[in-house]
Amino acid sequence: AQRVTQPEKLLSVFKGAPVELKCNYSYSGSPELFWYVQYSRQRLQLLLRHISRESIKGFTADLNKGETSFHLKKPFAQEEDSAMYYCAPSYSGAGSYQLTFGKGTKLSVIP
């Protein structure tokens, strides 16, 4: 069974400090990897996907296949980054593209 581990339930950092949200997955094959974010009172939305290799809102994520990790990073945290972050590998089976979500990390940026 596919498993996603986000070890930190809550992460508090000061504004301007670097942020790293950890994600480890256990998968067979080569999953596609996503980070989704949920800001207060908003719906879940895509933050970034590894295949596009882009930086969104200053966040980047590096896929390490050897360590099966997909950690999310930002060099300088902003208050508006406070939100719930979910790592979500995508398992493609039988033509389906289901997402398997971790339990999430709540990021709190302290002014």
Partner 1 sequence: DAGVTQSPTHLIKTRGQQVTLRCSPKSGHDTVSWYQQALGQGPQFIFQYYEEEERQRGNFPDRFSGHQFPNYSSELNVNALLLGDSALYLCASSKPLKGLNTEAFFGQGTRLTVV
Binding site for partner 1 (CB under 8 A): 4, 32, 34, 43-46, 49, 51, 86, 88, 90, 92-104
Q: How far apart are CA 25 and CA 42, in angstroms?
A: 26
Among residues 25, 8, 42, 10, the alpha carbon closest in space to that of 99 is found at 25
Nearer to partner 1, 43 or 80 (CB): 43
- Shortest spacing between CB 11 and partner 1, in angstroms: 16
Residue 106 CB: number of other CB atoms within 10 A? 15
Nearer to partner 1, 17 or 51 (CB): 51
